[in-house]
């Protein structure tokens, strides 16, 4: 062991709602390290505006929440997962409330149900608990405040995980995860983290697209690392495009929450005409995939740069009270949403697939868990229902922590990892290659693997990504690792997985829409798309359940 090595009971990679909730549930029992690739609050959680879905109103029911999720998921959700999450949602809200998060209250709610509940697209009832229009920020602030002061949690900021380490490094079969290598972005040194258990909570991969609502760190790190380590991934063709991102040349990835439409906002063309009723009887409250495709269709039909979201009819007081963050941000760009509609465009928003897990967050590798957006739990199916994402982080964080604590006392293996090998590695003098390939990859994915797809476009994208992968692998093998190189490497792997999954699905379902197979295939039981790596580590093989 060197001074570049750390030992912890549990290593959590990611510092958003999934990672921090898991760490806080574990901390009373074990010592936990949390890796954050930037500052602790740089992840997607801090950006989430809408809220957290939970049945708290007597007029609602768990069955309604389940049914709404199944409908939005277009027949691909795993019912047992959906029921598990919906049942545990009220307890997740209770836990946050006990931590002191400032959720918006209903002055007429009473003690039994004190929270203000809003409604979003795809929900049949008001069940969205929120903190004004900045729920993610409230969740992140509360969780990180608790984590930073806990004596059993150590936060490592500016650490980018490079790869998971399996017992194959120590002569084993490669079926157990024993830690990870991570780049200290402050010093440029690679450090090894030994751990009895590793939790991936790295978020999604929407940065694979040119336009996204996500922060810069959403580069699919956990999905790519798990794939390289031998884990299966599922449903990667289903990338959710949020219908309404602020369209402004100086605005970077600012999301206009679903709740604006939930509270009566209308989508308009430049001449003031509404159009959503022509695409779905639910209008602006249709699920996100339908709304995003409708906007994409109208923009292409008219050659328009954007459409408009209008909620001016609700009045200035209502808008300022319910959407203070959006109102202030729009004003900073010269847009007064109390008096004029907001220009919006779709943008890549959420990765509905991910690393295949069970109801405890366990992956194919013993000792490796995946929580949150990087995980493929089956909750979202072919399209995520609004405000089920933060909920998934909380529910599975609890489930994984409980399973980890139960397993730790009977599994005490703790081996030193080999040091990171930089033999023959030099500093790069060709950083332009990384920058160029980064842009090319994201442009290819946006142009050929976006909201509307064709087989020919997918095949062209596959060919170009294969060339990029070969260039990146050669570069990775010869030069010292950097933040940009590692993120590009992960994005290229994720792009390949998305394209492979999309080519395999010969139908249009949920977020995957192809003009070559424009109809949904209901002739047989819907199948998950499960990809298996060549070094598949698991033992839960059932014939016919995946496509390689």
Query: Cα torsion at 93, 99, 100, 106 (round to 10°)?
Result: 10
CA distances from 276 to 292, 406, 540 (A): 10, 50, 44
Residues 6+ apart with CB under 8 A from 322: 118, 132, 133, 259, 263
Q: What one-character-per-residue DSSP string does 79-114 give? A: HHHHHHHHHHHHHHHHHHHHHT--PPB-TT-TTTS-
Residues 6+ apart with CB under 8 A from 94: none
- Which letter does DSSP use for residue 296 in this model? H
- Is residue 362 within 8 A of residue 396, CB to CB? The reply is no
Sign of the torsion formed by the C-alpha atoms of 147, 153, 154 and 155: negative
Residues that are catalytic: 288
Sign of the torsion formed by the C-alpha atoms of 48, 53, 57 and 60: positive
Question: Which tokens hold the place of 37?
Answer: 């690739």
**Cα end-to-end distance, the chain, whole Å:** 39
Helices (H), 37-78: 62-72
């Amino acid at each position: 062991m060197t001074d570049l090595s750390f030992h912890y009971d549990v290593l959590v990679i990611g510092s958003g709602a999934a990672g921090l909730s898991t760490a806080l549930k574990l901390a009373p029992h074990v010592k936990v390290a949390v890796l954050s690739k930037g500052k602790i609050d740089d992840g997607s959680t801090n950006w989430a505006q809408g809220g957290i879905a939970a049945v708290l109103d007597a007029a609602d029911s768990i069955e309604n929440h389940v049914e709404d999720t199944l409908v939005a998921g277009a027949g691909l959700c795993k019912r047992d997962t959906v029921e598990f999450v919906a049942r545990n949602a009220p307890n997740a809200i209770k836990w946050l409330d006990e931590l002191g998060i400032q959720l918006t209250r209903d002055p007429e709610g009473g003690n039994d149900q004190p929270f203000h509940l809003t409604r979003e697209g795809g929900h049949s009832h008001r069940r969205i608990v929120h903190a004004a229009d900045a729920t993610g920020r409230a969740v992140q602030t509360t969780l990180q405040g608790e984590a930073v002061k806990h004596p059993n949690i150590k936060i490592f900021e500016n650490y980018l995980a490079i790869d998971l380490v399996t017992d194959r490094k120590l002569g084993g079969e490669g079926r157990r995860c024993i830690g990870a290598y991570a780049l200290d972005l402050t010093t440029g040194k690679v450090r090894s983290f030994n751990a009895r258990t590793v939790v991936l909570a790295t978020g999604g991969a929407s940065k694979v697209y040119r336009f996204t609502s996500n922060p810069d760190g959403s580069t699919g790190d956990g999905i790519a690392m798990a794939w390289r380590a031998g884990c299966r991934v599922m449903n990667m063709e289903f990338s959710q495009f949020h219908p309404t991102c602020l369209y402004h040349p100086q605005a970077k990835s600012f999301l206009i929450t679903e709740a604006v439409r939930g509270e009566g906002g209308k989508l308009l063309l430049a001449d003031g005409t509404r159009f959503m009723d022509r695409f779905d009887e639910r209008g602006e409250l249709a699920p996100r995939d339908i709304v995003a495709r409708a906007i994409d269709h109208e923009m292409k039909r008219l050659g328009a740069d954007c459409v408009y979201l209008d909620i001016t009819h609700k009045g200035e007081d209502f808008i300022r009270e319910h959407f203070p963050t959006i109102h202030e941000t729009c004003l900073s760009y010269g847009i007064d949403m109390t008096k004029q509609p907001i220009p919006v465009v779709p943008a890549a928003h959420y990765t509905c697939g991910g690393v295949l897990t069970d109801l405890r967050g366990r992956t194919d590798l013993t000792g490796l868990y995946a929580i949150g957006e990087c995980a493929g739990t089956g909750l979202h199916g072919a399209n995520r229902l609004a405000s089920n994402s933060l909920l998934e982080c909380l529910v599975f964080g609890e489930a994984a922590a409980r399973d980890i604590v139960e397993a730790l006392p009977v599994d005490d293996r703790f081996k030193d990892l080999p040091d990171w090998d930089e033999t023959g590695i030099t500093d790069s003098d060709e950083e332009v290659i990384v920058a160029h390939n980064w842009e090319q990859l994201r442009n290819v994915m946006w142009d050929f693997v976006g909201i509307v797809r064709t087989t020919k476009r997918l095949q062209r994208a596959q060919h170009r990504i294969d060339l990029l992968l070969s260039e990146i692998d050669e570069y990775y093998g010869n030069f010292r690792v950097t933040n940009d190189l590692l993120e590009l490497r992960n994005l290229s792997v994720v792009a390949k997985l998305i394209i492979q999954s999309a080519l395999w699905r010969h139908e249009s379902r949920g977020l995957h829409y192809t003009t070559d197979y424009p109809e949904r295939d209901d002739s047989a039981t819907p199948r998950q798309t499960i990809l298996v790596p060549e070094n598949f580590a698991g033992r839960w093989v059932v014939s016919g359940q995946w496509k390689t």
